[in-house]
Amino acid sequence: MNSNNKKETVKKQSDFNSDSPAVQAHLTITQSVIQRMASNSASCKAWCITLVSAILVIVADKKCPNLSLIAFIPVALFFFLDVYYLALERCFRNTYNSFINKLRDGSVSAEDVYAVKPLGFGLQEIIRAVASFSVWPFYSMLAIMIIIARIILIG
């Protein structure tokens, strides 16, 4: 293969523009990953409410208030799962925004286009997700609800 053929088969950085099918596919994939993470987070909340409610109904039926503490298990598990999905969603949004900025600058490379990975995922992002208003009020209210249900069952 001569040098002219090599130049034709390898895309240049300037060949990746907003109209490029590869760029459009990359953006679509990244958007779908972000949507999936948001959907998973919402599912965590829905399943958590369902399980906690079912546990509290069974505990009330059995008239054993100490068993209501079992409801904290799904709250804790879904809390951590929800935090994980939120942190991943934010990192993929960072990836998306970084890609858009590179696209505007004209510095998109083939490595950027053909790799979809979260940007900046780590402990700091998880801590930010724990502090998020979409997580802690929801799960803290569920915990308070469990405590109130236990008090009502005792009294």
Give pLDDT tens digits along the chain (155 positions): 555 544 444 444 456 777 788 889 999 999 999 999 999 999 999 999 999 999 999 998 988 888 889 999 999 999 999 999 999 999 999 999 999 999 998 888 888 888 888 888 889 999 999 999 999 999 999 999 999 999 988 86
Element (H, E) at 55: helix 21-62
Q: What's the rounded Cα separation, in Å, for the pair 88 and 118? A: 7
Cβ neighbour number for residue 75 with a 10 Å cutoff: 21
Cβ neighbour number for residue 38 with a 10 Å cutoff: 16
Query: Are residues 77 and 107 in contact, defined by beta-carbon separation less than 8 angstroms?
Result: no
Q: What's the rounded Cα separation, in Å, for the pair 92 and 98? A: 10
Query: Are residues 112 and 15 in contact, defined by beta-carbon separation less than 8 angstroms?
Result: no
Q: What secondary structure letter does DSSP report for 67?
A: G
Number of H helices, E strands in the chain: 6, 0
Query: Are residues 29 and 116 in contact, defined by beta-carbon separation less than 8 angstroms?
Result: yes
Look up residue 96 and give its amino acid.
Y
Dihedral, CA atoms, 146, 148, 150, 155, nearest 10 degrees?
Answer: -170
Predicted model pTM: 0.82
Q: What's the rounded Cα separation, in Å, for the pair 116 and 137? A: 32
Query: Are residues 18 and 103 in contact, defined by beta-carbon separation less than 8 angstroms?
Result: yes
